[in-house]
Structure 1
């Protein structure tokens, strides 16, 4: 019998990319969900009947529980995760079904990690924060960490062109990330950071070039210090192309009244306006992504930097690769790790290298002396 994969939110841009990766690299039968029959009309007929659509709202708990019980793997792509509870994960643990998600906010990450022992007891492998960032980015960090005698600092820089090929949900995620200050691990202590502050100009590979990135609240800011205890500093920064989007986002983070940015109607307004703008600028900038992971530490008595970069011409597709490739490993039984874990704690560098090569994703790494 074929493996059965349930993808919640599977008609979104990210969910669709995850489904496409799984259909391409496995023989699994996929069920994707959406809240209305209209969203199911776009289900591809080229999958040989391996893809079907289920009308499902996450508030329909009995229907959700039934769908999970009929699955071998559940992939949660129904963001934004700022608003999500862990109901899906809890049902997976109850039913003994493995779980992945593309979650990208620390509030959800913390709630999910609190279920670790329950997942261990149930024998369920639950891997959170898969995708491109967080996700592939975390594995780039692990690969870098393993090059050192002692790793001390992690600096992650993310750059997205236009919309990145994603939908309005990702725009919501961006503006939701501007609402509050957040804790970051700096010089061995937790410090409060203002979102979209402290611009740095990073030299990304072409076609991106030198571009600005800013502090942004990401779950790897809290998971990486625990996954790699010798590290004393973890920096996560994000930027957009064209650069004027960075300035508009800075204004939203620092000039707009905080009470206004915390209203859902304002988030919706900004998200839809931004998505409309990127529909136009995508023509000129593309929808690609660049990830740069720098690890600083001691190697043979010297302090050096190991820098890795990864590029892709479609951010949503890259996210689909990150999650889809891990789904394949889970279905093949190559990634059994009961508990709830961020991707960097589970995926070995050997397996990471294998799945990136399988998908012809090139990673460029180099040593940089200070």
Structure 2
């Protein structure tokens, strides 16, 4: 029997990248959804005939339930996730259907994790935060943590060129992430951090080199301390290319009246202006992504530092690889872990390495020869 995958929000840049990955690596029938009809969707997205389109609004619960019930796997790509409830996940658990998403916000992840016990009881594997960051980045951290006798500190840094090829959604996500201070795990306790603060210069692989990154609220800010309780500090920082955008974002976070950022109309205005600007700058900077995971800890009785780095020329495509690879593993039965999990607690390192290799994604890894005290 042919597997059937339902991709909610599959018409967008991220959703179509996930669909492309699943078409390439599985024989599954793919159903992508959107709120309005569209003809010629396969041609526009350069997808094969195994992809079909379904008009579906998430508010139409009855139709949503029917679509989920007739699927083997649901992939939730209908972001941004800041305002989303976990109703899709709830229905998947009720219907006994496995679930993954590309969520990237603390509030949504927290709501999803509340269904952990129900998912276990239903035998449903649900994995959240499966894109590139969070997603591939979390699995890079898991690999790095596993190199230590006693890991102590995780430092995750992300860099995106312009729009990242993800459309206006990435702009909305950025500005929504500036709304509130957030809790971060620092020196063994939760401390309040201001978004887009404490700029730090981090070394990324070519073509990026040394670039500025800032504190940014991501789900892994709180899921990684849970996954690796021995770790005393988890830092998550984000930056943009060109650097000019970092300064504009800093101004939005620290100078603009908070009412602008907290007002949906203000977020939309800033997002559209930013998207217009990246339409121009993308031609010069590209739409790539860089991820750097650095873990400090004890190895053979000494303080040591281990680092993994990844560069991909298309942020949206990298997200498709991260999410699509987990979808493939679930469909093939290689990954089965009932419950609701962030990706770093669900995906074993050997399966992660196999998935990245099959997609031609190279992750540079190794020990850094320097004293950890420099950090």
What's the TM-score once normalised by structure 1's chain length?
0.99
Determine the C-alpha separation between the residues in 2 that align with 1:336 and 1:44: 34
The aligned residue for residue 312 of structure 2 is 312
Residues 252-293 of structure 1: per-residue CA shift (max 9 Å, x gap): 000011122100000000111101100100011000000000
Query: SS of 2:309's equivalent?
Result: strand
Residues 139-182 of structure 1: per-residue CA shift (max 9 Å, x gap): 00000000000001000000000110011111101000000000
Residue 354 of structure 2 is aligned to residue 367 of structure 1: no
Residue 71 of structure 2 is aligned to residue 76 of structure 1: no
Q: How does 1:60-71 map to 2 (within 5 A)?
A: 60-71=60-71
Determine the C-alpha separation between the residues in 2 that align with 1:363 and 1:306: 13
Determine the C-alpha separation between the residues in 1 that align with 2:254 and 2:331: 45
Q: Is the 8 A contact 1:5 1:75 kept in 2?
A: yes
Determine the C-alpha separation between the residues in 2 that align with 1:64 and 1:200: 44
Q: How does 1:139-288 map to 2 (within 5 A)?
A: 139-288=139-288
The aligned residue for residue 292 of structure 2 is 292
Residues 81-100 of structure 1: per-residue CA shift (max 9 Å, x gap): 00100000000000000000
- Over the aligned positions, Cα root-mean-square deviation in angstroms equals 0.9
Q: How does 1:348-367 map to 2 (within 5 A)?
A: 348-367=348-367
Moved over 4 A (4+): 45-48
Determine the C-alpha separation between the residues in 2 that align with 1:272 and 1:171: 8
Determine the C-alpha separation between the residues in 2 that align with 1:209 and 1:310: 12
Displacement of 1:48 in angstroms is 4.5
Displacement of 1:366 in angstroms is 1.7
What's the TM-score once normalised by structure 2's chain length?
0.97
Determine the C-alpha separation between the residues in 2 that align with 1:53 and 1:318: 23
Determine the C-alpha separation between the residues in 1 that align with 2:61 and 2:346: 30
Determine the C-alpha separation between the residues in 2 that align with 1:48 and 1:110: 36
Q: Is the 8 A contact 1:44 1:51 kept in 2?
A: no
Determine the C-alpha separation between the residues in 1 that align with 2:83 and 2:275: 20
Query: SS of 2:323's equivalent?
Result: helix
Determine the C-alpha separation between the residues in 2 that align with 1:16 and 1:174: 21
Determine the C-alpha separation between the residues in 1 that align with 2:42 and 2:34: 11
Displacement of 1:43 in angstroms is 2.2
Q: Which blocks of at least 5 consecutive residues in structure 2 are unaligned? A: none
Residues 173-192 of structure 1: per-residue CA shift (max 9 Å, x gap): 10000000000000000000
The aligned residue for residue 21 of structure 1 is 21
Determine the C-alpha separation between the residues in 1 that align with 2:6 and 2:34: 11
Determine the C-alpha separation between the residues in 1 that align with 2:48 and 2:360: 24
Q: Is the 8 A contact 1:150 1:230 kept in 2?
A: yes
Residues 63-90 of structure 1: per-residue CA shift (max 9 Å, x gap): 0000000000000000010010000000
Query: SS of 1:65's equivalent?
Result: helix
Determine the C-alpha separation between the residues in 1 that align with 2:300 and 2:312: 33
Q: Which blocks of at least 5 consecutive residues in structure 1 are unaligned? A: none
Determine the C-alpha separation between the residues in 2 that align with 1:171 and 1:63: 30
Q: Is the 8 A contact 2:3 2:28 kept in 1?
A: yes
Determine the C-alpha separation between the residues in 2 that align with 1:42 and 1:92: 26
Q: Is the 8 A contact 1:294 1:305 kept in 2?
A: yes
Q: Is the 8 A contact 1:8 1:77 kept in 2?
A: yes
